[in-house]
Protein backbone atom coordinates (compact mmCIF):
# COMPACT_ATOMS: atom_id res chain seq x y z
CA UNK A 1 0.00 0.00 0.00
CA UNK A 2 1.32 3.41 -0.97
CA UNK A 3 0.29 6.72 0.51
CA UNK A 4 -0.67 9.03 -2.34
CA UNK A 5 -1.33 12.76 -2.09
CA UNK A 6 -3.55 14.22 -4.82
CA UNK A 7 -3.11 17.94 -5.51
CA UNK A 8 -5.87 18.91 -7.93
CA UNK A 9 -8.37 21.75 -7.59
CA UNK A 10 -11.06 19.82 -9.50
CA UNK A 11 -12.97 18.09 -6.70
CA UNK A 12 -14.65 15.66 -9.10
CA UNK A 13 -11.27 14.44 -10.30
CA UNK A 14 -10.06 14.21 -6.70
CA UNK A 15 -13.08 12.11 -5.73
CA UNK A 16 -12.81 9.77 -8.72
CA UNK A 17 -9.07 9.23 -8.26
CA UNK A 18 -9.55 8.72 -4.52
CA UNK A 19 -12.19 6.04 -5.04
CA UNK A 20 -10.22 4.25 -7.73
CA UNK A 21 -6.88 4.36 -5.92
CA UNK A 22 -8.42 3.26 -2.61
CA UNK A 23 -9.93 0.28 -4.44
CA UNK A 24 -6.38 -0.50 -5.58
CA UNK A 25 -5.33 -0.57 -1.91
CA UNK A 26 -3.65 2.82 -1.59
CA UNK A 27 -4.11 5.37 1.19
CA UNK A 28 -5.15 8.74 -0.27
CA UNK A 29 -4.77 12.28 1.07
CA UNK A 30 -6.45 15.19 -0.76
CA UNK A 31 -5.64 18.60 0.74
CA UNK A 32 -7.84 21.58 0.01
CA UNK A 33 -5.13 24.20 0.55
CA UNK A 34 -2.13 24.12 -1.81
CA UNK A 35 -0.31 27.16 -0.39
CA UNK A 36 2.45 25.10 1.28
CA UNK A 37 2.89 21.73 -0.44
CA UNK A 38 6.32 21.09 1.17
CA UNK A 39 4.69 21.39 4.61
CA UNK A 40 1.93 19.00 3.48
CA UNK A 41 4.64 16.56 2.39
CA UNK A 42 6.36 16.93 5.79
CA UNK A 43 3.08 16.35 7.63
CA UNK A 44 1.70 13.48 5.52
CA UNK A 45 4.87 11.75 4.24
CA UNK A 46 3.35 10.52 0.93
CA UNK A 47 5.19 8.05 -1.29
CA UNK A 48 3.65 9.57 -4.41
CA UNK A 49 2.33 13.03 -5.24
CA UNK A 50 -0.14 13.41 -8.11
CA UNK A 51 0.18 17.08 -9.00
CA UNK A 52 -1.98 19.04 -11.45
CA UNK A 53 -0.16 21.76 -13.40
CA UNK A 54 -3.03 24.25 -13.60
CA UNK A 55 -4.23 24.89 -10.08
CA UNK A 56 -6.34 27.91 -9.30
CA UNK A 57 -3.86 30.44 -7.93
CA UNK A 58 -0.90 28.04 -8.09
CA UNK A 59 1.37 26.51 -10.71
CA UNK A 60 2.13 22.81 -10.39
CA UNK A 61 5.43 23.11 -12.24
CA UNK A 62 6.62 25.76 -9.78
CA UNK A 63 5.51 23.52 -6.91
CA UNK A 64 7.48 20.63 -8.44
CA UNK A 65 10.54 22.88 -8.78
CA UNK A 66 10.26 23.86 -5.09
CA UNK A 67 9.92 20.23 -4.05
CA UNK A 68 12.97 19.15 -6.05
CA UNK A 69 15.11 21.96 -4.61
CA UNK A 70 14.79 20.34 -1.18
CA UNK A 71 16.76 17.12 -0.87
CA UNK A 72 14.44 15.97 1.95
CA UNK A 73 11.82 15.31 -0.73
CA UNK A 74 14.03 13.42 -3.21
CA UNK A 75 12.26 10.15 -2.42
CA UNK A 76 8.78 11.54 -3.10
CA UNK A 77 7.68 10.40 -6.54
CA UNK A 78 5.70 13.02 -8.49
CA UNK A 79 3.25 12.42 -11.30
CA UNK A 80 2.52 15.74 -12.98
CA UNK A 81 -0.82 15.92 -14.79
CA UNK A 82 -2.47 18.39 -17.16
CA UNK A 83 -4.77 18.71 -20.15
CA UNK A 84 -1.80 20.23 -22.01
CA UNK A 85 1.34 18.23 -22.77
CA UNK A 86 3.96 19.29 -20.25
CA UNK A 87 5.89 16.03 -20.46
CA UNK A 88 8.99 17.91 -21.63
CA UNK A 89 8.98 19.91 -18.36
CA UNK A 90 9.71 16.89 -16.16
CA UNK A 91 12.86 15.79 -17.99
CA UNK A 92 15.03 17.73 -15.54
CA UNK A 93 13.36 16.29 -12.44
CA UNK A 94 14.23 12.91 -10.94
CA UNK A 95 11.49 10.61 -9.63
CA UNK A 96 8.92 12.38 -11.81
CA UNK A 97 6.57 11.41 -14.58
CA UNK A 98 3.74 13.01 -16.58
CA UNK A 99 0.25 11.89 -17.56
CA UNK A 100 -1.95 13.76 -20.03
CA UNK A 101 -5.59 14.40 -19.09
CA UNK A 102 -8.01 12.87 -19.74
CA UNK A 103 -6.58 9.48 -18.89
CA UNK A 104 -8.01 6.11 -18.05
CA UNK A 105 -7.58 4.82 -14.48
CA UNK A 106 -5.47 1.89 -15.66
CA UNK A 107 -3.03 4.33 -17.28
CA UNK A 108 -2.62 6.10 -13.93
CA UNK A 109 -2.00 2.76 -12.20
CA UNK A 110 0.70 1.94 -14.78
CA UNK A 111 2.36 5.31 -14.06
CA UNK A 112 2.21 4.70 -10.31
CA UNK A 113 3.75 1.25 -10.74
CA UNK A 114 6.39 2.57 -13.15
CA UNK A 115 7.49 5.46 -10.97
CA UNK A 116 7.66 3.24 -7.90
Distance separating alpha carbons of residues 51 and 39, to the nearest angstrom: 15
Distance separating alpha carbons of residues 115 and 95, to the nearest angstrom: 7
Q: What pLDDT score does 98 carry?
A: 95
Q: What is the mean pLDDT of residues 71-79?
A: 92
What confidence category does residue 115 fall into, taking pLDDT thresholds of 50, 70 and 90? confident
Cis peptide before 66 (omega within 30 of 0): no
pLDDT in tens, 24-70: 999 999 998 988 999 999 999 999 999 999 998 999 999 999 999 99
Q: What's the mean per-residue pLDDT of the chain?
A: 93
Query: Rounded to two decimals, what is the model's pTM?
Result: 0.94
Amino acid sequence: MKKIMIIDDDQDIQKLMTIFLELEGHKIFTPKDFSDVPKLIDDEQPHILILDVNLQGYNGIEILEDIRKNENYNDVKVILTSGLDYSYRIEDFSNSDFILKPYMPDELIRKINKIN
